[in-house]
Amino acid sequence: MDRGIAEPLLSREEISARTAQMAEEITRDYRDRDLVMVGVLKGAFVFLADLAREVDLPLEIDFVAVSSYGVDTESSGVVKIVKDLDLEITGKDVLLVEDIVDTGLTLKYLTAMLRDRGPASVSICALLNKPDARKVDLEVRYCGFDVPAKFVVGYGLDYAERYRQLPYVGVLEDEGSGGTG
């Protein structure tokens, strides 16, 4: 196990199998529609890449970058747009792809911002969901896994910009210098 990881939570194989299942659902649901997958940077880049390769549709991909954590393990609740979309989404179906839904504050803000731009629809796809941490009502249309209210890293998720490269999801150690969320 990697240094700083208390326990593995999801293996590469489990993530890959569930990603393929989600891609089948997305392919079925968006057939004959104009789909734009919007990845939330930085955390969703690994999941979005794997998911997009499994979706059997023509689609466009774009990214938004937001900041709400800084170097803490808990969301500040303040959302700052760091990178906005490059693509026009008016009249298109937007699938917002996120690594993890925690409090829901960031995604609630992003979905409202995107809806103001006149897309045909906006839905959420997340690899991980922490239902016990939710502070707002939010529908996650495609969800990979529900996870406990622990701070998880790997497969794109980070703590202070570390651990994103891990091919699995693990629980961060509860250590004096970092802690868990």
For residues 100 and 83, give the distance between their C-alpha atoms in angstroms, rounded to a whole number: 19
Options 62, 102, 116, 174, the catalytic residue: 102
Give Cα 111 to chain centroid, integer Å: 13
For residues 157 and 48, give the distance between their C-alpha atoms in angstroms, rounded to a whole number: 12
Here the CATH number for the domain that contains residue 139 is 3.40.50.2020
* Cα angle, residue 35 at apex, residues 137 and 24 outer, rounded to 5°: 80
State the total domains in the chain. 1
The token duo for 177 is 């210098």
| Bridge partners (DSSP) listed for residue 159 | 162
User: What pLDDT digit, counting tens, does each position of 53-106 carry?
Assistant: 999 999 999 999 987 655 555 555 677 889 999 999 999 999 999 999 988 988
Is 35 a domain residue? Answer: yes
Respond yes or no: is residue 72 known to be catalytic: no
The token duo for 61 is 């991909």
Is 170 a domain residue? Answer: no
User: What pLDDT digit, counting tens, does each position of 138-157 carry?
Assistant: 999 999 999 988 899 999 99
| Residue numbers of the domain that contains 118 | 12-149
Is 168 a domain residue? Answer: no
Is 176 a domain residue? Answer: no
